[in-house]
Structures are given as structure tokens and as C-alpha cells.
Amino acid sequence: MFFRDFFLGFVKVHILHHASQKPIFGLGMIEELAKHGYQISPGTIYPTLRSLETAGFLQQENRLVNGKIRKYYRITPLGQEALAEAKDKIKELVTEVLA
């Protein structure tokens, strides 16, 4: 359980980072995270996206893609603030841990 919670924090930072670059969607993030070694299931990614939206870090937009509605998420100003703070903390942590 500890490792799941621990790595979920990294996943959330990845999500905010990618959402700051362009709108993201669940399956796309599953594929992106797999490139970084995370094996995330739909049962994890979609609740995580919704929780980030509920917290005000992401904003959802529905788009019609191939005849189906796909939920896209983009970062909000609050999400930008959270990402900036996370980046500062990551820099501090990496400097300390790898020193």
C-alpha cells in the first residue's frame, strides 16, 4: 500500500506537468506514464483525474472523438501553482537525496 500511495504522488505531478503542456485524456496518460515505467490501470487513472479536477487543479472539457465523447483535462491556474510548488520541492529533494 505504501508504494502505491508513494508513486501516486509522482503520477499526479506527471499529470499536472502534461496537462500544463496540452489537454490530456485518460488513455493518453496511461500510455505516457507507461513510457516512464508506471503501469497504471483505468481504475487508477480516471479516479485520479477526477480527484485533481475536484481539487480545482484540472478542468474537464468534453470532445467528440470518433463518434464518442472523450473527457480532456487541462491545468487550471490553481493547478499551475501546485505544479510550480511541486517542482520546487522536487528540486530540493533531488539535491538533498543525490548529494
Q: What CATH number corresponds to the domain at position 38?
A: 1.10.10.10
CB 73 within 8 A of CB 56: no
Q: How confident is the model at residue 8 (pLDDT cuts 50, 70, 90)?
A: confident
What is the mean predicted confidence (pLDDT) over 66-84?
96
What is the mean predicted confidence (pLDDT) over 90-99?
89
**Count of domains in the chain?**
1
Reported as a single tens digit per residue, the pLDDT across 17-67 is 999 999 999 999 999 999 998 899 999 999 999 999 999 999 999 999 899
Residue 84: pLDDT above 90? yes
- Considering the entire predicted model, what is its pTM? 0.89
Q: Are strands 58-65 and 68-75 parallel, antiparallel or unpaired?
A: antiparallel
Which structural domain range is residue 16 located in?
2-97
Residue 3: pLDDT above 90? no
Calpha distance 74→39 (Å, rounded): 22
